[in-house]
Amino acid sequence: MAGEPPDPAEAAGEAGNEQYFTPRPRSPHHRRQLRFLYRGQVLTFETDAGVFAAEKLDPGTALLIEALDPRPGDTVLDLGCGWGALGVAAARAAPKGRVLLTDVNRRAVLLARQNLRRNGIENGEVRPGALFAPAREERFDLIVTNPPYHAGRELILKLLTEAPAHLSAEGRLLLVGKGSQGVQFYQRWLTENWLGGSVAVRRRGSGYRVLEARPGPRNLQR
């Protein structure tokens, strides 16, 4: 398609650095303490080298947290949870619901579990695995993700293709990305492929945008 942005994985080239979406990172441990305010409560976290945004809450995830609006009893999937910022916030926002956090990175999985306990979250669970494999055949009212764009366009499109099968009848996907990551391309793809559904920009900031996508009935039946 003319005018498509370059694939971020190809643009990255052979950097030689370990990627945060590797299952078993080998980076030396470097633990840090982070905190941020959410809905009047200070949430505290421990991070480590070898996981995404280990030094601070990245602006894309921060914008996605601002856009979080689950109902109190919603089921939520935090896909690619990292150290758990989104999942912990979602669990606070949906105290009568359930939140599943998943990540292929085993170090991230351990951190997310620790951070659920650290923040007193009892309605959250963390499972290891790639994409929707840990969710099995479950469906959710809300899927939230800041996906690993550097893993390549093929993986992101696989995520978007499989997402409707894990959404409830009124379920939504919230996805964050920026222009250099091809977020406009994925916005067009969702519009063209989630037939009968809807795609809207919920938040903008620092070059990022949060997309809210609802699949059409045909997608949900797949």
- pLDDT, tens digit (0-9, with 9 covering 90-100), for 89-137: 999 999 999 999 999 999 999 999 999 999 999 999 999 999 999 999 9
The structural domains of the chain, with segments of one domain joined by +, span 57-220
Q: What is the pLDDT of residue 161?
A: 96
Tokens of 189: 């793809």
Q: What is the pLDDT of residue 49?
A: 95
Ranges of the chain with pLDDT below 70:
1-20, 221-222
Q: What is the pLDDT of residue 27?
A: 87
Q: What is the pLDDT of residue 221?
A: 61
Residue 17 neighbours by CB distance under 10 Å: 8
Q: What is the pLDDT of residue 222?
A: 54
- Does the domain at residues 57-220 carry the CATH identifier 3.40.50.150? yes
The dihedral through the CA atoms of 172, 137, 65, 103 has a sign that is negative
Q: Does residue 115 contact residue 46 with C-beta atoms inside 8 Å?
A: yes
Q: What is the pLDDT of residue 216?
A: 87
Tokens of 58: 């990245």
Q: What is the C-alpha to C-alpha distance for residues 79 and 201, in angstroms, rounded to an integer? A: 19
Residue 171 neighbours by CB distance under 10 Å: 21
- Entry pTM: 0.89
